[in-house]
Amino acid sequence: MWLPLIGLIVGLVLGLLTDLRVPDEYSNYLSIAVLAAFDTLIGGIRAHLQNSYDESVFISGFFFNIILAASLAFLGVHLGVDLYLAAVFAFGVRLFQNIAVIRRIWLTKWMERRQKSEKN
């Protein structure tokens, strides 16, 4: 349970220490990639909680979503349409849905545990 959190912190520290900067014109792509990554991560947690977690789906979804989002943004820049908004919208909606599902699962678990403790 703690391993992913530690990984997150390690990644953050690594990123801050390397002092890497993306040129301004590419920061759009990075932000959308971050969003896609978040979406996949939350989706993975939800699947884990619903016991439908599949490793290959998770890993492939992670990279595929990032690449798709970035290429959509790229296409949007070249077509002159803010296509990255489509990615932001899709990922945002999915993010909220997944978080809601996770919340409900946790809530029911918590309620169950409380009822059990009340019975005892």
Partner 1 sequence: MIHFTLITTIIGFMLAVQFQTIRQPVVRDTRDIWELRKDLKQEQELQHRLLLEIRDYEEKLHSYEKKQSTSKETVLQETVNELKQEAGLTEAKGAGLVLTIEPFYPDNYVGPITETVSPELLKRLVNELNMYGAKEIAIANERIINTTAIRDVNGVTKVNNRKLTSLPIEVKVIADDVQSLYSHLQVSNILDDFIIENLQLTVSKPMSTVILPPYEGQVRVKYMKAVKAEKEEN
**Using CB under 8 A, which residues numbered 50 to 109 contact partner 1?**
55, 58-59, 62
Shortest separation between residue 115's beta carbon and partner 1, angstroms = 30
Contact between 45 and 101 under an 8 Å Cβ cutoff? The reply is no
Shortest separation between residue 43's beta carbon and partner 1, angstroms = 11
Contact between 35 and 66 under an 8 Å Cβ cutoff? The reply is no
Kindly give the interhelix angle for 55-79 and 27-49, rounded to the nearest 10 degrees.
150
Shortest separation between residue 51's beta carbon and partner 1, angstroms = 15
Shortest separation between residue 120's beta carbon and partner 1, angstroms = 31
Question: In 10 A of CB 94, how many CB atoms?
Answer: 18
**What's phi and psi for 59, nearest 5 deg?**
-65, -50
Q: Does 9 help bind partner 1 (rule: CB under 8 A)?
A: yes
Number of residues that bind partner 1 (CB under 8 A): 33
Name the strand (E) or helix (H) holding 51.
none
**Using CB under 8 A, which residues numbered 28 to 47 contact partner 1?**
30-31, 33-34, 37-38, 40-41, 44
Closer residue to partner 1 (CB): 11 or 81: 11
